[in-house]
Amino acid sequence: MTETNFSNSSLDTRKRFESLVMGAVDGELTREEGAEFERLIREHPEFRVEFKQFIRIKEVTKSMPMKLPPEEVWDTYWYRVYNRMERRAGWILLSIGAIVLITYGLYQFVMNLLADRHLETFIKIAIIAVLAGAVIVIISVLREKAFVRRTDPYKEIKR
Amino acid sequence: MNNNREADESELIRRSRMGDKDAFGQLVCIYMKRAYFSALGLVSSHEAALDLSQEAFVRAYRAIGKLDPERKFYTWLYQILRNLCFNYIRDRARHARPFSELDEQKMQQIADASQDASSRVETDELHQQLRRAINLLSPLEREVIVLKDLQELSYKEIAEVLGCPVGTVMSRLYNARKALRNSMKEYMNDRN
């Protein structure tokens, strides 16, 4: 029983150390927490060793250099963003226009087809079946994409 | 000073919301390096970091009407950027490149001139080892290391950027640094 209590107490101390050590490494502890942490590492030399290792890790990480891209990358950065924005607007207009025209064209095509008295009925049915099939496939693909988007594991990440 | 900067930023956001591209261009110029280096820390490739950071600005411009005026621009932009980066990482998982762009060129540029050759070699080796260790971290752990140690954000700022409590930031950071320490333990013991 005493041994169990001792283990629990060690575990709690360990957990407390873990909850404070990052704040101590990054200098983000309050005064009270700082004093508590000081006491912990004074009473537990193994925690002090660990604390020093974390400080060392932070020092090495902070001193790790980042490769600087050439200066012209920054000179042309906004220009490239601007071009993308402009191009995106162009694509949206192009797509909307194309969808409207294609839909209208198909509608006219089907109407003319139905009005054509010289064309065999089974040909008319076959052409309409091809068009209906294409529409179903497109809708199915779009619905699948929407489903994938809904079940995306990264969806919790706010856009 | 800080208040002036925030006021300027609010004004730029306000103008951007009204379609003023010059104002948005100024926001881009203020945050382009930060966005680029954030992306670089996550995706480890210069080309991808440049592409993703620029794409994040394009999406931000399109959605700027939804930006809460009380929110900081970069915090909001970063969420768009990290989403793009995580999607990129997920898509390219099989062809993942090492943390290669955080490499030797700049290391040599900033190396202390007074440092002798042998200690510089040791530092280089240490950084290479660390780069490998960072590359083994999960994207979420790598992200918190980038935000804390490379971007030098406070816990509060990181929590704001990630949209999670400060306690989560601390535990994620603890796990990340513990993993780094374990990966580098032997190596660092040799050097100490």
Angle of helix B2-17 versus helix B21-43 axis, rounded to 10: 110
pLDDT tens per residue, range A84-120 = 998 888 888 999 999 999 989 988 988 888 888 888 8
B179–chain A Cβ distance below 8 A for any pair = no
Decide if pLDDT at B61 tops 90: yes
| Residue A130 distance to chain B (closest CA, Å) | 35
What pLDDT was estimated at residue B92? 74
A-chain CB neighbours of B37 within 8 Å are 66
What pLDDT was estimated at residue B110? 39
Decide if pLDDT at B109 tops 70: no
Please report, to the nearest 10 degrees, the dihedral formed by the alpha carbons of residues B122, B128, B133, B139 taken in order.
140
Decide if pLDDT at B1 tops 60: no
A-chain CB neighbours of B123 within 8 Å are 63
**Six-digit token string for B35:** 């966005």
Q: Give percent of chain B with pLDDT exceeding 70.
A: 78
Closest residue in chain A to residue B150, using alpha carbons only: A62
* Helix (H) or strand (E) run with residue A58 in it: helix A45-62
Cα A63 to chain centroid, rounded: 28
CATH topology of domain B101-192: Arc Repressor Mutant, subunit A (1.10.10)
Q: Give percent of chain B with pLDDT exceeding 90.
A: 35
Q: Tell me the domain boundaries of chain A.
A: 2-62, 70-115, 116-159
Contact B168, A19 (CB under 8 A): no
Q: Any idea what the Cα angle at residue B53 is, between residues A86 and B55, rounded to 5°?
A: 30
The residue type found at B76 is: W
Cα–Cα dist A85/A77, whole Å: 13
Cα–Cα dist B3/B9, whole Å: 10
ipTM of the complex: 0.71
Closest residue in chain B to residue A29, using alpha carbons only: B155
DSSP letter string over chain B? -HHHHHHHHHHHHHHHHTT-HHHHHHHHHHHHHHHHHHHHHHH--HHHHHHHHHHHHHHHHHHGGGS-TTS-HHHHHHHHHHHHHHHHHHHTGGGPPPSTTS-HHHHHHHS-TTS-HHHHHHHHHHHHHHHHHHHTS-HHHHHHHIIIIIS---HHHHHHHHTS-HHHHHHHHHHHHHHHHHHHHHHHHHH-
What pLDDT was estimated at residue A140? 92
What pLDDT was estimated at residue B28? 95
What pLDDT was estimated at residue A145? 84
What pLDDT was estimated at residue A2? 46
pLDDT-derived band at B135, boundaries 50, 70, 90? confident
What pLDDT was estimated at residue B103? 44
Q: Which residue has the higher pLDDT, B163 or A51?
A: A51
Measured between alpha carbons, how far is residue B122 from residues A70, B130, B188 in Å? 27, 12, 11
Residues of chain A with pLDDT under 70: 1-8, 150-159
Helix (H, G, I), strand (E, B) or coil at A105: helix
B42–chain A Cβ distance below 8 A for any pair = no
Return the DSSP state at A118. S
Please report, to the nearest 10 degrees, the dihedral formed by the alpha carbons of residues A55, A57, A60, A64 taken in order.
-130
A148–chain B Cβ distance below 8 A for any pair = no
Decide if pLDDT at B96 tops 70: no
Cα–Cα dist B154/B162, whole Å: 12
* Helix (H) or strand (E) run with residue A43 in it: helix A31-43
Nearest neighbour of B32 by CB, restricted to A28, A77, A159: A77
Sign of the torsion formed by the C-alpha atoms of A82, B81, B74 and B16: positive
B145–chain A Cβ distance below 8 A for any pair = yes
Most B CBs within 10 A among A21, A47, A63, hence the mutation to make, goes to A63
Decide if pLDDT at B108 tops 50: no
What pLDDT was estimated at residue B23? 93
Given CATH 1.10.1740.10, say whether it is the number of domain B1-97: yes
Encode burial over A74-106: b for 16+ CB neighbours within 10 A, e otherwise.
Answer: eeebbebbbebbeeeeeeeeeeeeeeeeeeeee
Contact A102, B79 (CB under 8 A): no
pLDDT tens per residue, range B35-60 = 999 898 888 788 999 999 999 999 99
**B positions 1-20 inside 8 Å of A (CB):** none
Q: Tell me the domain boundaries of chain B.
A: 1-97, 101-192
Mean pLDDT of B152-181: 90
What average pLDDT does chain B have?
81
